[in-house]
Amino acid sequence: MRKVSALLLVAERRAISGLAGLYASRMLGLFMVLPVLAIYADTLAGSTPLLIGVALGIYGLTQATLQIPFGLLSDRIGRKRVIAMGLIIFALGSVVAAMADSIWGVILGRALQGSGAIAAAIMALLADQTREQVRTAAMATIGLSIGVSFAIAMVVGPWLAAWAGLAGVFWFTALLTLVGLLVLWRWVPPAPRRLRHRDVGMDRQQFKNVVTRPDLWRLDLSIFALHLVLMAIFVAVPFRLLSAGVAVEHHGLAYLGIMALSFVAMVPLVIVAEKRQQMKAMCLLAIGAIVVSLSSLGLPLSQGHWLFVWLFVFFTGFNLLEATLPSMMSKLAPAGAKGTAMGVYSTSQFLGAFLGGTLGGLLAHTWGLNAVFIGCAFLALLWWLAMLRMPSPPPLSSEVLALHDTQPDALDLLMEHLADVAGVEDVMVVPEERLVYLKVNRQQLDQAALTRLIPPPKH
Confidence check: pLDDT of 242 > 80: yes
CATH classification (class only), 397-453? alpha beta
Cα 405 from Cα 36, distance rounded (Å): 57
Matching fold, domains 1-192 and 212-393? yes
Local structure of 426: helix, strand or coil: strand
Confidence check: pLDDT of 457 > 70: no
Write down the pLDDT at residue 1. 34
- Tell me the average pLDDT across 212-216: 87
Write down the pLDDT at residue 292. 97
Write down the pLDDT at residue 192. 65
> Could you say which of 3.40.50.300, 1.20.1250.20, 3.20.20.140, 3.50.30.30 is the CATH number of the domain covering 212-393?
1.20.1250.20
- Tell me the average pLDDT across 313-332: 90
Every domain of the chain and the residues it spans: 1-192, 212-393, 397-453
Per residue in 396-410, pLDDT (tens digit) is 877 777 776 655 667
- Higher local confidence (pLDDT), 385 or 428: 385
Helical spans, DSSP H, in 116-250: 119-128, 132-186, 204-212, 214-233, 237-243
The pTM of this model reads: 0.90
Write down the pLDDT at residue 9. 77
HSE-CB at 400 with a 13 A cutoff on CA atoms is: 24
Cα 259 from Cα 429, distance rounded (Å): 43
CATH of domain 1-192: 1.20.1250.20
